[in-house]
Amino acid sequence: MKKIVFFILIAFSATSLFAENNVNDSLTFKSKNEVLVTASRIPVTSLVNPFSSSVVFQDLLSTMPRSIASDEALRLVPGVRIDNQANGSRMHMSIRGQGILSERGLRGIKVFLDGVPLNDPSGFTMDLYDIDWATVSRIEVLRGPSASFYGGGGSAGVLNIITDIGSSKGQERELSFDAGSNSFFKGLASVKGSTENVDYRVSYSKFLGDGYRDHTGFWGDNFSERMKWNMSDKIKISQSFIYTDYFNQNAEGLSIDQVKENPLQANPDAIPFNEYQKTKRIVGGINGNIAINSFSDLQVNGFLRFTRYKETSNKAAQYRDYVAPGAGFQYNIRLNKGDVKNTFGIGSDFQTQTIDEVKFKSLSNPNRKDDGTDDTNIEDSTLLANQVISQYALGGFAFYNLEYKKFQLNGSVRYDKMHNDLHDKLNTAYNLSDTADFNRFSAKIGASYSFSEKANLFANWGQGFIPPATEELASNPVSFRGFNKNLVPATSVSQEVGLRGYLGEHFFYDVTAFYMTTDKDFFRYKLTETRGNQEVFYGNTGSSKRLGLETYFTIKPIDDLDIQIAYTYSNFKYSAPDSIDGDFIPNSPEHQLNVDVQYKITNNLKIGVSSETQSKWYIYTEAINKGITQDGYTLFDCRITYDMKLFGTNTQVGIYGKNLANAKWMGFTEPDPDGNCYQPGAGREFFGSLKVRF
């Protein structure tokens, strides 16, 4: 607690200095840092938002060399750590170390794509394959517990992704092509436009690559369509449709000796059992906003998601069909009198999911088709599981927001009820049908004060909880079927204080310090002797204390030079039980630093350089006692883009280089003590791009 008080004193001292500076704000900074942030359920200007947040804009997104994964899109957001496991779109993401021990996907991070939630009822997002990052116009990131807004799915933060739509120029068309190292290729075609009452966008992209290591090939198809209707002055409706088909070979992790021998090789089990993951999904969503009168409005939404998933390993071949519908509403009332502005809101969201799952014993079959469309002789294998998992999550919430001159107060409460039911369909001597229920109350309160138009101080307190995810519940150490009965939700309490604003015309800053305590954190383990080294199980361990500092700076020393810096300090340690008290939480480097510098040589020619640095980290629980760490790294990238008019089109040509120094680094370390936990990162890569707009 003393450390938090220390950070508060620093923030107040800095505020007094900045408040005395009367230099006008830069218009460039204003346009980027006074945008409305909608992820907190109440649209709040980003500069005075009482919660730690970041907004990523199109100018940064346009610098992505491949635009197929979130690690490029969110590289300058502090507090976020993303592991690219196979040089494709399969990511592992965490915010402030929440969900850090998951093997893949996002735990405790609420994800919206154009208003459609991507999480399942347990709060788990299995992937971000539905997102074509080349079509994204803005990303809002709330860091820290937002469970009182979104339940267990928002305990680490919120990722609100908004795609491009409409045009002030009538109809615009775009064709883009990217190609480069490791046989990478991506093609995109999109059309967007506006009529009197309708904005729209339709796009299709296809990409593929061999990956950096053996048996890490991938390919993906993405079709998306989005429309917005202004039906009247009081009724606005938006609709979206997405089709996703993604496949990746799975090389699995290596031992440290195998990495030294040949970092490109796959795990010895991967090729004989043709390990892969394949996801096919259809998502449809609709959102409506109805202005009831001058002081109230109603927001409603609904969605339906179908997923077909296949995964093979050296122990089991798993097949899952998901059906996940959901809906929600939010009713807002605004009561203003003079300088006092009050906003009240209540709402509820409900979603269900049914998973039809079968598991077969894996057969060694390297001749099986690599694209996952055929599983030869699978019917000759032993049926290990045949079960249906039914889930639902129901949440009700209420919030209040007060604005009085330079002061803003925001508070929210929520209650969640989650139910999981498993029906065991195998005709055996024992039946493993079971249920698991998790209910939780959560609250959050935050306040901000603007000492001037350029300096805003904020602080908040919030509760979070992460219920066991579907993946964790269904990984039963007792059997290939049934639930893991030993899991309970992990809970957290977090406090933070921050300062953001401008210093003169050429400097924007955003600094946040936080302190979080957690109880019943999750950990991972394997039963190598009985289940092999490819299957992971989860349990609850003790508690932890997390102290962190998240900083972001934009510097514009001259008109044509832009510098962005994001630095994160993470001191995440277990506090119980005694056997791991003081140990660092796995996969949590103390220091992360990302720097991006762009210089506009002419109006048409731009050059950029960037770097990514991470300090060493511990790989698994109790690794600190054995001195087992993974070395940190620094990667350097560069880019050159040239814009020109060509045959009546706006054309851009780009050249990109990644990891120019060809550094040896680790893309991901699985937090497991069995040794096969290392997945090396890619070496030096080059890419070229061509974008044509007409």
The better pLDDT of the pair 672, 554 is held by 554
Cα(320)–Cα(309) distance, integer angstroms = 5
pLDDT at residue 136 tops 90:
yes
Q: How far is CA 161 from the centre of its chain?
A: 10
Half-sphere exposure of 93 (CA within 13 A, CB side): 32
How many other CB atoms are found less than 10 A from the CB of residue 661?
12
Could you tell me if 420 and 483 are in contact, meaning their C-beta atoms sit under 8 angstroms apart? Answer: yes
Instruction: Kindly report the average pLDDT of the chain as a whole number.
Output: 88
What number of other Cβ atoms are within 10 A of residue 312's Cβ? 26
Q: What are phi and psi of 52, to 5 degrees?
A: -65, 130
Confidence of residue 402 (pLDDT cuts 50, 70, 90): very high
Rounded CA separation 678/92 (Å): 14
Residue 37: the pLDDT is 72
- 3-class DSSP assignment, residue 228: strand
Could you read off the pLDDT of 604-644 as tens digits, one per residue?
A: 999 999 999 999 998 876 545 566 789 999 999 999 999 99
Question: Is residue 39 predicted with pLDDT exceeding 50?
Answer: yes
Task: Specify the higher pLDDT residue, 248 or 40.
Answer: 248
**In terms of Cα–Cα distance, which of 2, 108, 10, 142 is closest to 499?**
10
Token code pair at residue 532: 């092999």
Residue in the block written with tokens 């620094």? 634
Predicted local confidence at residue 14, as pLDDT: 34
- String of DSSP letters for 586-644: TT--SEEEEEEEEEESSSSEEEEEEEEEE--EE-STTHHHHT-EE--EEEEEEEEEEEE
CATH class of 2-693: mainly beta
pLDDT score of 1 more than 60: no
- pLDDT the model gives residue 628: 77
Q: Is the pLDDT of residue 372 over 70?
A: no
How does residue 10 score in pLDDT terms, banded at 50, 70 and 90? very low
Q: What angle do CA 249, 62, 129 make, to 5 degrees?
A: 30
pLDDT digits (tens, 9 = 90+) for 498-517: 999 999 889 999 999 999 99
pLDDT tens profile 530-567? 666 667 788 888 899 999 999 999 999 999 999 999 99
Q: What residue spans of 632-673 are helical by DSSP H?
A: none
Q: How many helices (H) and strands (E) does the chain have?
A: 9, 39
188 has pLDDT over 70:
yes
Nearest to 368 by CA among 590, 482, 215, 179: 215
The answer to which of 371-385, 455-469, 530-544, 667-681 has the lowest mean pLDDT is: 371-385
Cα separation, 649 vs 645, in Å, equals 6
More confidently predicted of 1 and 465:
465
At 23 the pLDDT is 30
Task: Please state, in angstroms and rounded to a whole number, the distance separating the CA atoms of residues 138 and 338.
Answer: 33
Percent of the chain with pLDDT over 70: 89
Residues 6+ apart with CB under 8 A from 607: 598, 599, 601, 638, 639, 640
Structure tokens, 392: 């639902």
Q: What is the pLDDT of residue 346?
A: 97
| Of residues 219 and 318, more confidently modeled | 219
Could you tell me which residue, 540 or 266, shows the higher pLDDT? 266
Q: What is the pLDDT of residue 619?
A: 83
> Could you check whether the bond before residue 272 is cis, i.e. omega within 30 degrees of 0?
no
Backbone φ and ψ for 104, nearest 5 degrees, come out as -155, 170
Q: What is the pLDDT of residues 298-315, one digit of tens each?
A: 999 999 999 999 999 888
| Segment (H or E) for 588 | none
Place 146 in a pLDDT band, splitting at 50, 70 and 90: confident
- Is residue 130 within 8 A of residue 137, CB to CB? The reply is no
- What dihedral angle (degrees, nearest 10) is formed by the CA atoms of 230, 233, 235, 236? 30
State percent of the chain over pLDDT 90. 66
Kindly tell me if the per-residue pLDDT of 11 is higher than 50. no
* The pLDDT of residue 38: 75
More confident residue, 621 or 284: 284
Output the six-digit token pair for 200: 């729209």
Structural domain boundaries of the chain?
Answer: 2-693
Query: How is 212-225 classified by DSSP, letter by letter?
Result: SSTT--EEEEEEEE
Beta pairing, strands 157-163 & 455-466: unpaired
d(CA 260, CA 485): 39
